[in-house]
Amino acid sequence: MNIVVLIKQTFDTEAKIVLDANGKIDANGVNLIINPYDEYAIEEGIRLKEKLGGEVTVVTLGGARAQEAVRTALAMGVDKGVVVSDPAIDTSDDWANVEIIAKAVAQIPFDIILSGRIAIDDGASQTAVRLAEALSVPSVSSVIKLEATGDQLVATREIDGGTELIEVALPAVITAQKGLNEPRYPSVAGIMKAKKKPLKTLTLADLGLSAGDLAPKMVVTKMTLPDPRKAGIRIPGEAADAAKELAKLLHEEAKVL
Amino acid sequence: MDEIKEVSLEMKDYIVSSGAETLSWCMQCGLCTNLCPWRLVPGEISEAFNIRKMQRLGQLGLEGFEDENVLFACATCGMCLVNCPRKVEIIDNVRSMRNTTVAAGFLPANLRPIAGSLHANGNPWSGAHEKRAEWQEGLNIPAFSDDTEYLLYVCCTSCFDTRSQKIAKSIVNLLQKAGVSFGVLTAEENCCGETIRKLGDEELFQKLAESNIKLFNGKGVKKIITTSPHCLYAFKKDYPELGGNYEVVHYAELLGDLLKQGKISFSTELAKKVTFHDPCYLGRHNQVYDPQRELLKAVPGVEFVELGRNKEKSLCCAGGGGRVWAEAPMGERFGELRITDAVDKQADILVTACPYCIAMLDDACAGLEKGDVLKVMEMSELLNASL
Amino acid sequence: MAYQSILVVGGGISGLTAAVEAAEAGSEVYLVEKKPYLGGRVAQMNRYFPKLCPPNCGLEINFKRIKQNPRIKFFTLAEIEKIEGKEGDFTVTVKSNPRYVNQNCTACGKCTEVCPVERSNEYNYGLDKTKAIYKAHEFAFPMKYVVDNDVCQGSECGKCVSACQYNAIELDMAVKSFNLNVGSIVWATGWEAYDASKIDYYGFGQHQNVITNVMMERIAAPNGPTGGKVVRPSDGKEVESIAFVQCAGSRDVNNLTYCSGVCCMASLKQATYVKEKNPDAKVSMFYIDVRAMGKYEEFYTKVQDGISMIKGKVGEITEDPLTKDLIIQVENQLTGEILKEKVDMVVLATGMVPSTVDTKLPIAINYDEDGFIVSDSQQPGIYGAGCVKKPLDVASSVKDATAAALKAIQSTVRR
Amino acid sequence: MAKGIWVVVEQRDLQIRKVSLELLSQGRKIADETGESLVAVILGQGIEGLAQTVSANGADKVILVEDEKLAEYTTGAYTSVLNKLIRKEEPQVVLTGNTAVGKDLFPRLAQRLGVGLASDCTGIEVDSSSFMVFKRPIYAGKAFEFVSSTVRPILATIRPNTFALGTPDAGRTAEVVKETADIDAGDLRAILKEVAIAASKRPELTEANIIVSGGRGMKGPENYVILEALADVIGAAVGASRAAVDAGWKEQKFQVGQTGKTVSPTLYIACGISGAIQHLAGMGSSKFIVAINKDPEANIFNVADYGIVGDLFDVVPILTEEFKKIVG
């Protein structure tokens, strides 16, 4: 089985978000990690390979440091890595990214494409499903359980308040939700071996694309930071009154309910 | 017997090149295992972790040491080094073995937020950097300058934990009473990096250390007082190789000297039975044993008793080596043994001199529900109460 | 002026050998021994390698060769105070301590019967006592009594003097010094057992039933303090379980950095003492690795049966204060578990420390970092022999001493 | 010329999701402001009766697509139908809730249409140049981006609770248009075999939007029922402090904190938790923190946005009742 795992390198979950002089997110000095949901996808890809044989290729789109993420995936047990790196990616939107990835993936034989259900940076949750469409294959998103045979998948996906069981013929795209598996730590041998595994770097030109093909559909007009946290307040009064007041504040002021 | 896994000389070389220069000195006698505090508690980690075996796996480049319960179990207490017949630098080896996986991006899940916070905030406690100096409010501490002799460096824990802030405040008060010339740079400082280095994240350690060294050197810092023995260790033993050379003392050492010189004295009587838990990083790692005892004995009314395991034989609280962020179930925590030790000595107060120890011992005391018979105090708090 | 005679310092197996070999090759030999008898450590053995025979016959042959050879003069209770000169022309000052017993002594033992004072018997490593006037041991050579001046009450008591019908006791004997002129010197002052009390976690000196391997030789010896019964010091109970703790201080940068090479075989040998007396005894040996050099491999393989061999250096020995039983804590490296084994007695396999650590030669020579005399002593004409050069077993000491004798002879004939 | 603001109304078992009504309510306002018409699109089977509800909530026009293949949501069938409808009608904007359906459907729809998608939005600004600008949280709410597009239509999924529900006007009527479902065979490759709706499944701690957590002040495992009751009203996960785990009241997997699970929900309600540093560090990035504790000195109050000094056994049951009123 040929397995492709689409991953993204994101800011570490603790990263402090700062805007630079241009009002853009400042990535300077920020620690980068593999998007945690993509780790489930990597793990599932490796498990599928372990069960059914074949090869796992990880594909990512990113800057100079994206190779680190791919090396990490290789250490976990992925066989090959592909990094598409091009300055044009800095301003591309979800649609354009999918155009690029679709071209890159088209060069790799695939039966199943796995990815995380969401990236914790932009939170867009679009790429994998869009990619399925771009490649004209079905997709199942937010999967928490996956059973695969040679030519079909049975996936349990999370929906609001329950689950769905979906059967789909291969090839297909699956997005991983937390709970699908527990990503492994690589053996040290795996880490050593990863240093020697093939890692291919491609530019847009290598994929027959140019920046002009990728005019974004969506543009970011500005970025802002949340208002600073207000000083906490103690709600006075007896239990009943305080509880009522609290409920009101949460609903009307904080708007979290 | 365990199944033999993959052997790789390359892996061994990698571990050695990460700093485990003495790894091959080990002749597998097992004296370290005998001393390791993990042998004093039951449970899953205790069963998985064997410090001698871990060295062996490293020597052979054999898979298996990277299991989280092995690789990250060591509290770097240094007990294993006490009798080691070959003076194997076991803790350096552990650090290097951790480095093999951490450098590849595989810090265990529970430690990622800590490393993340260190990257983003310069402290491991997810505290906003701009709040680092909040503990000083109302204390009127001068900024370090050419006019101040010492830099007082306050441990991240005592900057952000309200419980631990009392330690920083007590130390400030003691130093001021003794007329010590000191200033702070708290707002601009980052974590000393001692623990993250022990966790194997060398790159992050260097980032933290370099920023501190740049700050200290830029401000002309020559002498540093630390509130935590872990910071003491970092500044004394880790920073020189990166260009940070300072005369560093833990506050207990400085107060001990001031006591001898008669510059500080204690007057309020405290008729209590007091015992002292030697923090590993103050004792075994830095050989400071006496000033604490002299200071406590100088408090009128204090009846000082030694714990059974004291000084170089002191039992670790389990807060070092990153274990302060690890989860061991009740009944498997070294701190509980320590509380029991103190209760057995019928002490009223268990004193220690390390923010991590305080966190671990407080926790153990509450967990064992011994709060009614034993109080855990940081030494500065006790001394402050007797000024 | 070139002297033809040779001085051998130390009357143990190495010194005896060097002296006899040199003398039998025609040299004049002076043999100087600090103790009141010759034979050294070997005389304190129960049995020794390779034949596992008692030491008496081997020593006896040497004593006979000495007695028969007019070219050997030996001095017991004597120490070297000063060495001056150079190869071929040494002047050596010898201090002769008084025995307080003269040549008339027939070793009848009447003196001991009346002596009112007791002293710890160092020959048995303090496991028993002798009177202030005593016979060093059963086969002591020379077979003369001796007085321990440190404890003797002197002429005020004088009971022994009255009891001796041969007028052999002279309590007013004095220290004498004399000079010897020799062409070369063989230094064979041997070794001391490593002070096991320095390894605090083993409790030697605190727990009565923790003994060392040299003490075990005396306990097992028929002429020893227990008459050869393997019993424990605290209560004389026959030992039913015993643990041999290898590398007690050895291969340890905190104690002795080196391996003495003989302790593993010694413990295996001592295990046979126990098993011979009590085949049901439980014998354990705890080791880092067993060093059975050369032909000893076979012995090692053979004696392992019935001995529980556990890989792991003992971490701690504690004592049950009531029973005086000992609890051994050790990591069994096969399983990784911490064993806590209760035994009647523990034998610490301590290593060999050269006597030159404490007592240097009164002339500059080279020692290694552990205090052993190095082969090239940087002082022509002075040669180390035996365990003062490196830890050796008896057979190797004999060979080394023979070689030293040849070197010493060459020094006396060099032109 | 593109026209109309579309809301794809989500129904399950013929019940309209609250978020769809929220969008209709807000859509109405925008429609009034811009002069656009508000169109509700409902897919399903036996959905005719829902037309009245959506018109009462503000729709000018209702497009109903009835088909047995649309009875349950499937990505392929829904995409197939909506793609054709949108291409035919050319709306300005198509909105839906950022629900499991919205998250699955809209990316595929956007790609098929070759348009942009603003997902998980928490605000809409009307803009003269691009018609609508969408505010969306990024980096888990640590920043916001504002996105817009000149390509029509713009697709957007809106986070539930972003907009308030309006008051339905039963008197309103809307034009109801029925369209037939023209589903491409290629869109039926994924087959829905089974739907399992959990009666009350609390979310997983690290995924939860709201967490209700109890500490040593809970006094015993039996008392967690009052937190669970609270949690179930607002769809929250239940957590515990280390002290509660140590006491054996809760399993370790429920432990919140640096040594347990690091969480950053929108709302964290700490009951009887004093706030050890490891706990605070593990939940301090929550958007809103509520602390209920008897001890006015408890550390937790230092990080709380709202604090009640009081007995949780008095406060929590009343709070549960109040929440019921709000959530409905």
Contact call for A165 and D100, based on CB within 8 A: no
CATH code for residues B9-102: 1.10.1060.10
Total tally of structural domains belonging to chain D: 2
pLDDT of D101 reads: 95
Instruction: For B15, list phi and psi in degrees, rounded to 5.
Output: -60, -45
With a pLDDT cut of 90, the percent of chain B lying above it is 89
The verdict on D27 and D94 lying in the same domain is: yes
- Across the interface, whether the CB atoms of B120 and A30 are under 8 A apart is answered yes
CATH architecture of C6-97+175-192+353-413: 3-Layer(bba) Sandwich (3.50)
Q: Is the pLDDT of residue B2 over 60?
A: no
For residue B119, the chain A residues in CB contact (below 8 A) are 12, 14-15, 29-31
Closest partner CB to C330 (pick from B1, B28, B30): B30
Helix or strand run (H / E) with residue A101: helix A94-106
**Quick check: bond before A171 cis, omega within 30?**
yes
Q: At what angle do helices B90-102 and B51-60 cross, to 10 degrees?
A: 60
Q: Which CATH superfamily does the domain covering A2-214 fall into?
A: HUPs (3.40.50.620)
Structure tokens at B161: 């934990």
Nearest CB neighbour to D318, from listed A158, A220, A240: A240
CA angle C125, C130, C133 (to 5 degrees): 125
Q: Output B41-49 pairs: Cβ under 8 A, ≥24 positions apart.
A: B41/B328, B41/B331, B41/B332, B41/B333, B41/B334, B41/B337, B42/B331, B42/B332, B43/B328, B43/B329, B43/B331, B43/B332, B44/B69, B45/B69, B45/B73, B45/B328, B45/B332, B46/B332, B48/B73, B49/B73, B49/B74
* B50–C330 C-beta distance less than 8 A: no
Mean pLDDT, residues C128-156 taken together: 94
Q: Is the pLDDT of residue C194 over 80?
A: yes
Side-chain-facing half-sphere of C393: CA atoms under 13 Å: 20
CATH number of domain containing D292: 3.40.50.1220
- Calculate how close chain D gets to A198, using CA atoms only, in Å: 32
Instruction: Give C-chain residues touching B85 at CB under 8 angstroms.
Output: 247, 251-255, 313
Would you tell me which residues 89-108 of chain B have a C-beta closer than 8 angstroms to some C-beta of chain A? Answer: 100-101, 104-106, 108
**Is D198 inside any structural domain?**
no
**Contact check, Cβ <8 Å, A12/B119:** yes
Other Cβ atoms closer than 10 A to B250: 28
Check: CB of residue D116 under 8 Å from CB of residue A216: yes
Whether the predicted pLDDT of D197 surpasses 90: no
D198 falls in which pLDDT band (50, 70, 90)?
Answer: confident
Q: Mark which residues 87-106 of D lie under 8 Å from B by CB.
A: none
Residues in chain A: 257
Inter-chain CB proximity B161 and D277 less than 8 Å? yes
- Tokens 């130093």 -> residue: B175
Binning pLDDT at 50, 70 and 90, where does residue B11 land? confident
Tell me, yes or no, whether chains D and C touch by having 3 or more C-beta pairs under 8 A. Answer: no
Tell me the per-residue pLDDT of D138-156, one tens digit each, with 9 for 90 and over. Answer: 998 899 999 999 999 999 9
Within a domain: residue D53? yes
Q: Domain for residue D292, yes or no?
A: yes
Reply yes or no on whether the pLDDT at C263 is more than 90. yes
Which residues on B lie below 8 Å from D277 (Cβ)? 125, 157, 160-161, 163-164, 359
pLDDT at A141: 96
Q: Do C333 and B87 touch (CB under 8 A)?
A: no
Query: Which residue does chain A place closest to B13, by CA atoms?
Result: A192
CB contacts, 8 Å: B33 with chain C = 315, 331, 336, 338
Do C160 and C114 touch, CB atoms closer than 8 A? yes
Question: For B90-144, how does the pLDDT look when each residue is reduced to its tens digit (9 = 90+)?
Answer: 999 999 999 988 988 888 888 999 999 999 999 999 999 999 999 999 999 999 9
Looking at the partner chain, which of B113, B163, B329 has a beta carbon nearest the beta carbon of D258?
Answer: B113
The residue whose two tokens read 């395991």 is B309
Cβ atoms D100, A159 nearer than 8 A: yes
From the CA of B312, how many Å to the nearest CA of chain C? 13
Tens-digit pLDDT profile for residues D261-316: 888 899 999 999 999 888 998 898 899 999 999 999 999 999 999 999 999 999 99
Higher pLDDT pick, C283 / B5: C283
Spell out which residues of chain A touch residue D203, defining contact as CB-CB under 8 Å: none
How many whole angstroms separate alpha carbon C95 and alpha carbon C110?
29
Decide: D200 and D232 in contact? Cβ < 8 Å: yes
Q: What is the DSSP letter of B237?
A: I
CB contact under 8 A, A246 and D309: no
Chains near C with 3+ CB pairs less than 8 A apart are B
Contacts of B120 in chain D (CB under 8 A): none
Q: What is the DSSP letter of B1?
A: -
Strand order in the sheet with C176-182: C78-86, C89-96, C176-182
Query: Is the Cβ pair D310, A222 closer than 8 Å?
Result: no
Q: Are B69 and B96 in contact (CB under 8 A)?
A: no
Phi and psi angles of residue B171, each rounded to the nearest 5 degrees, phi first = -65, -45
Mean pLDDT of B214-241: 98
- Whether the pLDDT of residue B354 is over 90: the answer is yes
- Residue D19, domain extent: 5-188
- Residue A187, pLDDT score: 82
B109-256, CATH topology level: Rossmann fold (3.40.50)
D304 touches B at CB < 8 Å: no
Report which residue type is found at A160.
D
Task: Give the pLDDT confidence score for residue D258 in this predicted structure.
Answer: 83
The CA-based angle D18-D60-D97, given to 5 degrees, is 30
pLDDT at C415 over 70: no
Domain boundary among D142, D162, D188: D188
- B/e letters for C351-368, b = 16+ CB within 10 Å, e = fewer, are bbbbbbeeeebebebebe
Burial annotation D39-48 (CB, 10 A radius, 16+ → b, else e): bbbbbbeebe
D interface test, pick of B112, B158, B160, B161 with most D CB neighbours within 10 Å: B161
In order along its 257 residues, chain A shows pLDDT tens digits of: 999 999 999 999 889 999 999 999 999 889 999 999 999 999 999 999 999 999 999 999 998 899 999 999 999 999 999 999 999 888 899 999 999 999 999 999 999 999 999 999 999 999 999 999 999 999 999 999 999 988 899 999 999 888 999 999 999 999 999 999 999 988 888 888 898 999 999 999 999 998 888 899 999 999 999 988 888 999 999 999 999 999 999 988 888 88
Chain B: give the shortest CA distance to residue D140, in Å: 14
Look at residue B205 and tell me whether its pLDDT is greater than 50: yes
My answer on whether D148 and D277 are in the same domain is no
Question: Read out DSSP for D91-145?
Answer: -SEEEEESSHHHHHHHHHHHHHHT--EEEEESEEEEETTTEEEEEEEEGGGTEEE
High-pLDDT (> 70) share of chain B, %? 99
Model pLDDT, residue A63: 86
Q: Do B85 and C336 touch (CB under 8 A)?
A: no
B29 to C312: CB separation less than 8 angstroms, yes or no:
yes
Contacts of residue A241, defined as CB under 8 A and 6 or more positions apart, other chains included, come to none
- One domain, residues D122 and D168: yes
- List C-alpha distances in Å: D113 to A95, A172, B119, D85: 10, 20, 42, 11
- State residue D200's pLDDT score: 59
Identify the band that residue B1 occupies on the pLDDT scale cut at 50, 70 and 90: very low
Question: Are β-strands A199-202 and A80-84 bridged in parallel, bridged antiparallel, or unpaired?
Answer: parallel
Q: CB distance from D243 to chain B under 8 Å? A: yes
Q: What is the pLDDT of residues B149-204, one digit of tens each?
A: 999 999 999 999 999 999 999 999 999 999 999 999 999 999 999 999 999 999 99
Decide if D35 is inside a domain.
yes
CA distance D287 to D209: 10
Q: What average pLDDT does this structure show over C32-55?
A: 94
Poorest-confidence range of B52-66, C215-229, D95-109, D193-207? D193-207
DSSP letter at D262 equals -
Distance, in Å, from the CA atom of A227 to the CA atom of A256, rounded to the nearest integer, reads 15
The domain that contains D19 carries what CATH number?
Answer: 3.40.50.620
How far apart are the C-alpha atoms of B215 and B213, rounded to whole Å? 5
Residue D242, chain B, CB below 8 Å: the answer is: yes
Q: Indicate where chain C has its CATH 3.50.50.60 domain(s).
A: 6-97+175-192+353-413, 195-350
Interface test with A, best of D201, D318, D321 (most A CBs within 10 A): D318
Fold of C195-350: FAD/NAD(P)-binding domain (3.50.50)
Task: Say yes or no for a CB contact (<8 Å) between C331 and B50.
Answer: yes
Closest approach of chain D CAs to the CA of B31, in angstroms? 31
Of the residues D161, D188, D215, the one at which a domain ends: D188
Nearest CA in chain C to B38: C338
Residue D276 to residue B359, Cβ atoms within 8 A = yes
Tell me which chain B residues have a C-beta less than 8 angstroms from the C-beta of D284.
Answer: 126-127
Domain end, chosen from D132, D161, D188, is at: D188
Measured distance between the N- and C-terminal CA atoms of chain B, rounded to whole angstroms: 60
Chain B interface, best mutation among D277, D279, D285, D297, by max B CB count within 10 A: D277
Is ipTM over 0.90? no
B326 in D contact zone (CB under 8 Å): yes
| Helices C13-24 and C394-413, packing angle to 10 deg | 40
Q: For strand C129-131 and strand C118-120, is the pairing parallel, antiparallel, or unpaired? A: antiparallel
Is the Cβ pair B161, D262 closer than 8 Å?
no
Name residues 145-204 of chain B within 8 A of D (Cβ).
157, 160-164
Nearest CA among D237, D225, D206 for reference residue D312: D225
Domain ranges of chain B: 9-102, 109-256, 265-385
Assigned domain for D195 exists: no
Query: What is the CA B55 to chain-centroid distance, rounded?
Result: 23
Spatial distance between the Cα atoms of B383 and B173, rounded to a whole number of angstroms: 10
Any chains having at least 3 CB pairs less than 8 A from chain B are A, C, D
Residue B4's pLDDT is what? 65
Contact by Cβ (8 Å): D156, D133: no
Residue D217 burial (CB count, 10 A):
22
Distance from CA of A66 to the nearest CA of B (A): 13
pLDDT of amino acid D1: 43
Q: Which residues of D touch A142 (CB under 8 A)?
A: 100, 103-104
Cβ atoms C327, C320 nearer than 8 A = yes
- Mean pLDDT across chain D, nearest whole number? 93
Choose the closest CB to C254 out of B1, B27, B85: B85
Selecting from 3.40.50.10700, 2.60.40.10, 3.10.20.30, 3.40.190.10, what CATH number does the domain B265-385 have? 3.40.50.10700
Confidence category of residue C1, pLDDT binned at 50, 70, 90: low
